[in-house]
Amino acid sequence: MNEHASSSINRTPLVEVRGLSRHYPVSVPWLGRLFGGQSHKVLRAVDDVSFLLESGATFGLVGESGSGKTTIARLLVGLDRPTRGQILFNGTDIGTVASRQDMAGLRRNWQMIFQDPYSSLNPRWRVRDSVAEPIRAFGLADSRKGVDERVTELLVQVGLAPGDADRYPHEFSGGQRQRVAVARALASVPRFIVCDEPTSALDVSVQAQILNLMKDLQRRHGLGYVFISHDLAVVKHMADTIGVMYLGRLCEVSSARDLLSTPKHPYTRLLLEAMPGLNPSGTRRALVRGEPPDPISPPTGCGFHPRCPLADERCRRERPTTILSESTLVACHAVEEGRLK
């Protein structure tokens, strides 16, 4: 997907992902190897994924559970290392940075907001210590007073009171805890933030407050977001561009407007038809039939063909390559052959 995406943007993107893959070896019991002739298998959690993120923009990643979204999040912030591929920040391949000092200077530019704000905050630390940790780690304040002033500033930015710095996570509601997590993510003055299902553990009314807060902070600080969710309605509110994941691969990438109004890939269409209020065709809502296949033993050809209403022999035999259809990047034989109407 990278060839088409790169050619459409003349300036250096904030983040560029090129052919990113993460494979995990899956051990087979030794008896199976000895007597059954079984070999080691590989889980292709992420398989040849490419996309771009510009400053001040949001790239949304959607898909069913197990599609590889969280693995991409972990790769982007360095919690896991890719099997293949590159992650470039402002044109610099972070995988080639050998100096610890240079990497530390780069690392402060990205942060992550996790799904569960309670488990991502140390329950034994006061909020002051949690928010101050990145400030101290990256040497962003010269004194304890400077750290405290910065913590107070961050808490006020996310809608909390200065006095909240002395409270513990269990003393806050879920929405307030997520505000603390956002303040901590902002503490290192990052350029982009990976948001992994940041509102799925919250009530609907609180979700809206956190999403609006994040959009406001994005406008104020020019932040880039990689926003991961299984909820297309939430991604519609946040994203400029959306990538649809299936079985570790991107099957469609398009602007949020085009993807929601004229989806190309059959999987994207079925996802939209299953979402209340997001059905572009106006037809009766349909459930995505079947279950995702076993990622350790994926089907041959297109990974979606066992569930696709348009699958034919080519789909079962040959993995589709990514093509540019109008303004959409899509990996689908039916789109390529004009069978999708």
Confidence of residue 103 (pLDDT cuts 50, 70, 90): confident
* The pLDDT value given to residue 281: 57
Q: What is the pLDDT of residues 206-255, one digit of tens each?
A: 999 999 999 999 999 999 999 999 888 899 999 999 999 999 999 999 99
Retrieve residue 129's tokens: 């210590």
Question: Stretch 3-26: mean pLDDT, rounded?
Answer: 75
If one counts every other C-beta atom within 10 angstroms of the C-beta of residue 122, the result is 12
* The pLDDT value given to residue 274: 77
* The pLDDT value given to residue 280: 57
The size of the chain, in residues, is 341
CB 64 within 8 A of CB 80: no
Alpha carbons 194 and 60: distance in angstroms, whole number: 10
User: At a CB cut-off of 8 Å and minimum separation 6, what does 177 contact?
Assistant: 117, 118, 121, 169
Backbone angles phi, psi at 236, to 5 degrees: -55, -40
Residue 9 has pLDDT above 80, yes or no: no
Residue 329 has pLDDT above 60, yes or no: yes
Residue 282 has pLDDT above 80, yes or no: no
For domain 2-109+190-336, the CATH class is alpha beta
Domain ranges of the chain: 2-109+190-336
Question: Stretch 314-332: mean pLDDT, rounded?
Answer: 94
Alpha carbons 19 and 51: distance in angstroms, whole number: 9
Q: What is the pLDDT of residues 25-81, one digit of tens each?
A: 886 666 655 656 566 788 999 999 999 999 999 999 999 888 999 999 999 999 999
The 224-228 sheet, strands edge to edge: 110-113, 192-196, 224-228, 58-62, 241-246, 249-255, 328-330, 323-325
* The pLDDT value given to residue 284: 54
List the single range of 5-19, 99-113, 150-164 with lowest mean pLDDT: 5-19
Residue 167 has pLDDT above 80, yes or no: yes
Return the higher-pLDDT residue of 187 and 36: 187
* The pLDDT value given to residue 127: 97
- Cross-strand partners of 65: none
Return the higher-pLDDT residue of 292 and 174: 174
Return the higher-pLDDT residue of 274 and 247: 247
Alpha carbons 265 and 328: distance in angstroms, whole number: 10
> 190 by DSSP, 3-state: which?
coil
Q: What is the pLDDT of residues 238-251, one digit of tens each?
A: 999 999 999 999 99
* The pLDDT value given to residue 12: 80
Alpha carbons 206 and 212: distance in angstroms, whole number: 10
Question: Stretch 132-137: mean pLDDT, rounded?
Answer: 94
Q: Supply the mean pLDDT for the chain.
A: 88
Backbone angles phi, psi at 247, to 5 degrees: 55, 45
Percent of the chain surpassing pLDDT 90: 69
